[in-house]
A and B are shown apart, each in its own frame.
Chain A
Amino acid sequence: MSPEAVGLIGIALLLVLLFARMWIAFAMAFVGFFGIAYLQSFDQAFLIAGTAPFVFISKYALTTLPMFVLMGNIIAVSGIGTDLFYAADKWVGQLRGGLAIATTLACALLAAITGISSVALVTMGKIALPEMRKHKYDDTLATGCIACAGTLAFLIPPSIAFILYGIITEQSVGLLFMAGILPGMLLAALFIVAVMIITAFNPKAGPAGPKTTFKEKIVSLKGVWSMLVLFLLVLGGIYMGVFTPTEGGAVGAGGAILISTISRRLSLKDFRHSLVDTGLMTAMVLLLMMGVSIFIRFMAISKVPFMLGETISQLTVSPMAIFAVIVVLYLILGMFTDIIASILLTIPILYPVVISLGFDPIWFGVMVVVLIEIGLVTPPIGMDVFILSGITGTPVGTIFRGVWPFCVAGIICVVILAVFPQIALFIPGTMK
């Protein structure tokens, strides 16, 4: 049997094991190990199983993961998100659907200082949703908006998704961060447009709030300073080259701890809880990464990605048509797994293919993240919808009914980015 055929059988077996509810990390390690043993030898497979996982996770760049998770966990308990929401409400609350727009804005701002969506889901689920219910918002609009705007955390830097993508593809995490800024703002704007369209057709879904004076608006900004300080500290430092994105994680976590301690909003109990959760989350991702480390070697030995790239580049269809197929693939995949698993599962196979087609690796990273974000809120498995349902007690079905206008906005964002890749590549271009 040719190595490529073994590789394809391996991928098929991996899918079977995944659907059989095997832990994703073990499924990848298992298929990778036996694939290498079959193609080369058991000795070689043993050697890789003994060294590859250690080498793969002992990377300085990966230390960013616990750092940004810690930063997010601290911000989640510090009330910074709540401040952002109330400030945004003062500015846009008087519009129709104002609270939903304020939620989207607050999520976008929160995304600029966190790298995981759960922070926004927890904060907005506990603060913005009761507020919207009090003002007789339609539950589908309210929860759909939170679930979707929460995913902005993965697109607007810092972002765990970009860190993992950067590590696996050996691309610069700093460039990926910068590439996420404008598309993130674009997607947030499209979400806001979606809210406006929904409430234009159905004004009862999101009644306008009371008018606020200019003075109230200015006063509300006092709640935004801590976010601004953290944002300028981390992203500014990375952009100016004072420190690397890897170091930015530690600086951000330290900054978040300092700010929330000074403003007396971090109890010892919350702090301990944040730390323990950081440890668990890190261990979970480490196990996944160790599984990937073996699988990625198997893929390289089987030459499947190379073969796929070769075959596809000989097709006479345009690269954009192939890209459209990849888009559909990600949308389907996103329905079944969470963002970290999606990236770790697909990038080892698809990334070499995409690059051989001549797509920009940074731009592709942005596209993948937007696509997986959509997957995070689409049925049957929308991780973020489940999390939000767990936090707020809203039935999953209600939230799923509310997300589709925002998914349309997401697809529009993908199309715009495909037509104008400069939106993603402009800021990274100014960095060098």
Chain B
Amino acid sequence: MLNRLSRVLSLVGTALVLPMMVLIIADVALRFAFSRPITGTAEIASLMLVCMVLGVSWCAIEGRHIRVSLVMDRFPLRAQAIVDSITMLAGLVICIIITWQGYQSSLWVLESQEVASELLPLPIFPFYWIYVLGWVALCLVMVPLLIQKVKGIIQG
């Protein structure tokens, strides 16, 4: 269930890669050929990139987030599980803080009706929500990862 959710979110983020590419190429081509660039390309492409945060939870499940395992690999399995549990818990704490504060900022952005730029009056609060959604999913998938590590301590 959780796996499926993060997989879907990740695919939604990934699906934006091609439109982003087409948008930028169209902007370049129109500017080059007719000196008529597409207004707001930079803003739209940047906000599309923000949406790709949706992929971070699937990335976590796939074990793609970078870490330095050189030192820990040399310790006994139980010691590894203990340290991993602690760092995973610390990670979850900061993850929840960023998620919660991201949500607070989104409310603030909504209230102040912040837009992408003067040229492009696109409200940015929906993108804050998409960003927060990516983070919520990351918090959620970290819980089973943490439980797995704690189980590792018990089983040794």
Q: Which residues of A are in contact with B by a Cβ distance under 8 Å?
A: 17-27, 29-30, 33, 46-47, 49-51, 53-54, 57-60, 62-63, 66-67, 70, 242-243, 246-247, 249-251, 253-254, 275-276, 278-284, 286-288, 290, 336-338, 340-341, 380-381
Given contacts A46-B97, A63-B48, contact A280 B90 (CB under 8 A): no
A20 to B79, CA, bound (A): 11
A380 to B48, CA, bound (A): 38
The answer to whether the Cβ of B119 comes within 8 Å of any Cβ in the partner chain is no
- Which of A23, A29, A275 sits near B65, CB closer than 8 Å? A23
Whole-angstrom distance between the Cβ of A14 and the nearest chain B Cβ:
11
Can you list, as one digit per residue, whether each of B36-55 has a CB less than 8 Å from chain A (1) or not (0)? 00000011011111101111
Given contacts A30-B91, A283-B13, A381-B70, contact A66 B18 (CB under 8 A): no
Interface of B (DSSP majority class): helix
Interface centre among B14, B48, B62, B131 (most CB of A within 10 A): B14
- Which of B17, B58, B90, B104 sits near A70, CB closer than 8 Å? B17
- Which of B42, B53, B59, B87 sits near A60, CB closer than 8 Å? B42
Instruction: List the B residue with the shortest CB-CB distance to A66.
Output: B17
Q: Which residues of B are in contact with A by a Cβ distance under 8 Å?
A: 10-11, 13-14, 17-18, 20-25, 27-28, 32, 42-43, 45-50, 52-56, 58-59, 62, 64-72, 80, 83-84, 86-88, 90-91, 93-95, 97-98, 101-102, 104-105, 127-128, 131, 138
Is the beta-carbon distance between B52 and A275 smaller than 8 angstroms? no
Given contacts A20-B83, A46-B97, A49-B98, contact A279 B52 (CB under 8 A): yes
Given contacts A19-B68, A47-B101, contact A280 B58 (CB under 8 A): yes
A27 to B86, CA, bound (A): 12
16 A-B residue contacts at CB 8 Å?
A20-B87, A21-B68, A21-B83, A30-B90, A50-B104, A54-B128, A54-B131, A57-B50, A60-B46, A247-B25, A250-B21, A250-B28, A282-B13, A283-B13, A283-B55, A284-B59
List the B side residues contacting A49 at CB < 8 Å. 94, 97-98, 101-102
A246 to B43, CA, bound (A): 13
Is the beta-carbon distance between B98 and A279 smaller than 8 angstroms? no
List the A side residues contacting B13 at CB < 8 Å. 279, 282-283
Given contacts A246-B24, A283-B59, A286-B49, 20 further A-B contacts (CB under 8 A): A17-B90, A22-B87, A24-B65, A24-B68, A30-B90, A33-B94, A46-B101, A50-B102, A50-B104, A53-B98, A57-B53, A58-B49, A58-B50, A250-B21, A251-B24, A278-B17, A283-B54, A283-B64, A341-B66, A381-B70
Given contacts A20-B87, A21-B68, A63-B24, contact A54 B105 (CB under 8 A): yes
Is the beta-carbon distance between B21 and A58 smaller than 8 angstroms? no
Whole-angstrom distance between the Cβ of B39 and the nearest chain A Cβ:
14
Is the beta-carbon distance between B46 and A58 smaller than 8 angstroms? yes
A283 to B137, CA, bound (A): 13
